[in-house]
Amino acid sequence: MSRLIIYYSQKGTTDLVAKTLAKHLNADLVRISDLKNRDGLKNKVFGSINAFREAKTDIVPQKVDISNYDTIYFGSPTWSGKPTPAILTIIDRCSLAGKDVILFATMNTNRADTNINRLEEKVKMRGARVIETFAISTKNKSPEQLINDTEAIIKIKDLTMY
Ligand SMILES: Cc1cc2nc3c(=O)[nH]c(=O)nc-3n(C[C@H](O)[C@H](O)[C@H](O)COP(=O)(O)O)c2cc1C
């Protein structure tokens, strides 16, 4: 079973979730960087608007070769109840026909569900079969708590099966 985790993380919490998943699932990792400056309050507002409008952005790497993997994870923070521009940009560049996909979202307190619903629509449009989804609240959590929460989800969702 070969697994690849493709994710975006601005502040590091989704990065920690992705790295914990990768460690326990023996998965490869690709972190997508957004070349737009997303720092500071003004850019946070623009980020929210960009996410709400599902704007694309400039990313690195520009493409990911997923051909050698059976199961692809896509992970994104929740921005305005939506996926981040970087993750939507990379999804639109992946051909997911015949791929099993697992989606995960981080959030402060709410609307990871609408983020995941939109991710689900997007990957299905590109041919994926969504086999599992999950959300993790990161608010006020220490790195240890985030690792524990992620390990709990791996068990509850039986992710080693896929
Ligand atoms: C522009 C922006 C919009 C956000 N919108 C939401 C939101 O709608 N709901 C929520 O619970 N958290 C929201 N958050 C919080 C992030 O989803 C949360 O902190 C996430 O864990 C950040 O992931 P990261 O550390 O990998 O960047 C938002 C954060 C940013 C920067």
For residue range 9-44, what is the model confidence (pLDDT) as tens digits? 999 999 999 999 999 999 999 999 999 999 999 999
Model pLDDT for residues 64-94, shown as the tens digit of each residue: 999 999 999 999 999 999 999 999 999 999 9
Q: What is the mean pLDDT of residues 144-156?
A: 98
Q: Are the beta carbons of 4 and 28 closer than 8 angstroms?
A: yes
The CATH code of the domain that includes 120 is 3.40.50.360
Alpha-carbon distance values, 102 to 17, 71, 117, 131 (Å): 14, 7, 12, 6
C-beta of 114 in contact with ligand 1 (< 6 A)? no
Query: What is the tally of structural domains in the chain?
Result: 1
Entry pTM: 0.98
Report the DSSP pairing between strands 3-8 and 28-34. parallel
Task: Please state the atom number of ligand 1 nearest to the C-alpha of residue 51.
Answer: 1
Parent domain of 47: 3-161
What b/e string do you get for 53-65 counting C-beta neighbours within 10 Å, with b at 16 or more? eeeebebeeeebe
Give the mutation target among 5, 9, 11, 78 for probing the ligand 1 site: most ligand atoms within 8 A of CB: 78
Give the mutation target among 14, 57, 107, 137 for probing the ligand 1 site: most ligand atoms within 8 A of CB: 107
pLDDT of residue 48: 96
**In the predicted model, is pLDDT for residue 1 greater than 80?**
no
